[in-house]
Structure 1
Amino acid sequence: MRTKKLIREEVACYRKSASRKEVESKSFEIAQRLIKLDSFKASQAIMCYMDFKNEVMTGYIIDYCFKHGKRVVLPLVDSINGIKKVVPYEVVNLENDLMPGVFGILEPRKDSARVFNVKEIDLVIVPGVAFDTGRNRIGYGAGFYDRFLEAVKPDCTKIGIAFEFQIYDDIPVEEHDIPLDFVITEERII
């Protein structure tokens, strides 16, 4: 089995080589699959993330949520008592409620977005570097999302969105890793 480090390197190469047109087209297909899921339709508060460096583009999803009266929650990695954590913030306007944060990734502004109760989130769209057919994920290595997912309510739906090249048969899984409920690519729902 490949190591997490090797998988991260492989996926980074694929992502760098993907054209903007390809990323946009496949992201739209993934968004269409996602919004048709019953669990998505039933969710009122949806936590997403802002895409970065050829990740699946989340703008379609966020826009759909705004247009259909769903509450949009985005993550801010913040230091609380010296420990970095994902803190959910509700946003109502992307222009006013976001600013460039770590690595230039857009994140909620503390002065305009408001902290959102993690127990009120119905569905979380989880970023990841790679996923497997068992719905496990490899993140970026900091463990922020694994710790965050431990805090969501038990019936919160956890969904990974990824391009097909990010899907492996098996990836290394550690005890603290939390499997997802679905992984959606441009070709299938796992």
Structure 2
Amino acid sequence: MTTAIFGAMTVSPLTIIRRMSTNEALRNAKRDLRAVVAKRLGELDVKSVQEQSQVVVALLTSLPEYQQARRVSIYLSMPTGEIDTAAMVQNALEQGKQVFIPFTHKAMPAPKQGEDQKPSVMDMVSLESLEDYHGLKRNSWGIPTPTNKSLETRENCIGAMKAGKAGLDLIVMPGVAFDGECRRLGHGKGYYDYFLRRYSEESNGDMPFTVGVALKDQFIDPPASVPVGDKDWSLDTIIVGDGKVVRR
């Protein structure tokens, strides 16, 4: 049997086939779970989302990790289908925390062929005030988003770390599905997983506390679980809209 050479490693065709088969099975499992959760969320009314969001905000703000955090990242939510984070942003700013929000853009420089880098990446940039928050325009997903022009005056989290400044203390993360082992399934773009990998490299592994927030319709009860691969990051805790708090 012939072999293929990858860098300094010699890999047999059988190994390559097995890896391809495993990767395909993982992609299919993730796709199927996203479809199941999407159906659940499609049947969810606005009142339920708002009620669950209030529960999650109350639990988040009671966490000692949140109360002690000075620099926090909070995703800005879509109009439906996920926990509403507007009250989280307001609370954090009122508590005097420095708030960072996601901003997705094309990778610069653009990745070369075969390079392990995303064609677009997510950074965390500073949010200055409630007025700043309310002034953000919504993108095609209905998510409040900073303008490219405003990035000139916003602090970039990883850029600030490279300049010797503090990183993040806590990150509030969205997702499609979560489970009791603090595993998370995203929308498939890998933005958060890649951001966390970049952050880890810059901070020498000194990571912020990660919190997933989920509607009860996004939480997968055992024995079912969220399918994950070796590039998927687990969370430190998950807060669910029915009042459940799961810690890793």
TM range (shorter): over 0.9
Offset at 1:102? 4.6
Deviations 1:113-151 (A, max 9, x none): 513223411111111000111101100001111001123
Structure 1 unaligned blocks of 5 or more? none
Matches within 5 A, 1:1-20: 3-20=29-46
Q: Give the counterpart letter for 2:72 in structure 1.
A: I
Aligned length: 189
Offset of 1:163 from its aligned partner? 1.1
Residue equivalent to 1:87: 123
TM-score, normalising length: structure 2:
0.72
Structure 1 residue 99: Cα displacement: 2.1
TM-score, structure 1 as length reference: 0.92
Q: Superposition RMSD on alpha carbons, in Å?
A: 1.7
Q: Distance in 1 between matches of 2:227 and 2:207?
A: 25
| Cα offset, 1:104, TM superposition | 3.5
Q: Which residue matches 1:135?
A: 182
In 2, the alpha carbon distance for the partners of 1:7 and 1:112 equals: 37
Report the CA distance between 1:95 and its aligned residue.
Answer: 2.5
Identity %: 25
Counterpart of 1:151 (choices 188, 194, 198) is 198
1:42-101 Cα offsets, whole Å, 9 max, x none, are: 1111111111132100001001011110111110111122321101110122123x2223
Higher relative contact order (CA 8 A, sep 6+): 1
- Superposition deviation, residue 105 in structure 1: 2.1
1:115 is matched with 155
Q: State the partner residue of 1:180.
A: 235
Aligned pairs (5 A) from 1:62-81 = 62-80=89-107, 81=109
User: Are 1:87 and 1:115, in contact at CA under 8 Å, matched by a contact in 2?
Assistant: no
| Counterpart position of 2:6 | none
Taking the aligned partners of 2:140 and 2:181, their CA distance within structure 1 comes to 31
